[in-house]
């Protein structure tokens, strides 16, 4: 029996969309670029990319995506948020822009732009046993920092100095960094794994 490709959305209002699309297609996903509420219909997972979190928040509200997306994530839609996506998924933002709202879902507090300016970007291999036995590659570009992790969330990966840069909670994975920039696909593969598991539980 042929298994239908997982239908994975990438929020495509602003930020690094194409790199995520490329990784997901390489993994065999049916990718939908999400710009309007109707694009959410039938999705089995979604990726919230990097970019400017306050701009993405405003655009989600303008295009009427914020509330239906928030409901889908709360109902168990497998979700991967990178950089700005992590900020949107955090239950609390330490230094939110005026009027900025978040989707929530991750019991964490994050601080925006904690890793400095764009010219202070760096790359590192991280141990993330939940994702892979081998180290995963992370690219940090003005990334947020997870300042605290609540009881409902858990740490997936941290830097050598203990700073938390990847967290999970049920159907949600949030990353301070950009795996997609270097073509690192193991977090996306985990997202698809969550999608397949959700399919199985629904049958």
**In sequence order, what are the residues at sequence separation of 6 or more whose Cβ sits closer than 8 angstroms to the Cβ of residue 78?**
44, 45, 46, 171, 172, 191, 194, 195, 198
Catalytic residue numbers, as ranges = 83, 178, 180
**In sequence order, what are the residues at sequence separation of 6 or more whose Cβ sits closer than 8 angstroms to the Cβ of residue 108?**
90, 91, 92, 146, 147, 148, 149, 150, 153, 167, 174
d(CA 99, CA 143): 21
Q: How many Cβ atoms are within 10 Å of 25's Cβ, its own excluded? A: 13
E-strand stretches of the chain: 7-11, 30-34, 45-48, 79-82, 90-93, 106-111, 122-126, 136-140, 145-149, 154-158, 164-169, 172-175
SS3 130: coil
């Amino acid at each position: 029996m042929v298994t239908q490709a997982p239908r994975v959305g990438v929020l495509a209002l602003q930020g690094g969309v194409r790199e995520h699309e490329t990784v997901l297609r390489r993994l065999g996903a049916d990718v939908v670029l999400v710009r309007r509420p109707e694009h959410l219909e039938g999705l089995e997972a979604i990726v919230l990319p990097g970019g400017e979190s306050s701009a993405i928040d405003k655009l989600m509200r303008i295009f009427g995506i914020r509330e239906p997306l928030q409901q889908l994530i709360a109902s168990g839609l497998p979700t991967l948020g990178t950089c700005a996506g992590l900020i949107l998924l955090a239950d609390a933002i330490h230094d939110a822009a005026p009027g900025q709202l978040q989707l929530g879902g991750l019991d964490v507090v994050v601080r925006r732009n904690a890793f400095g300016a764009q010219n202070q970007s760096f790359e590192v291999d991280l141990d993330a046993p939940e994702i892979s036995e081998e180290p995963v590659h992370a690219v940090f570009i003005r990334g947020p920092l997870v300042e605290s992790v609540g009881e409902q969330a858990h740490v997936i990966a941290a830097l050598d100095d203990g700073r938390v840069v990847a967290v999970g909670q049920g159907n949600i994975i949030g990353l301070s960094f950009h795996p997609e920039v270097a073509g690192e696909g193991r977090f996306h593969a985990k997202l698809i794994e969550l999608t397949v598991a959700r399919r199985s539980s629904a049958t």
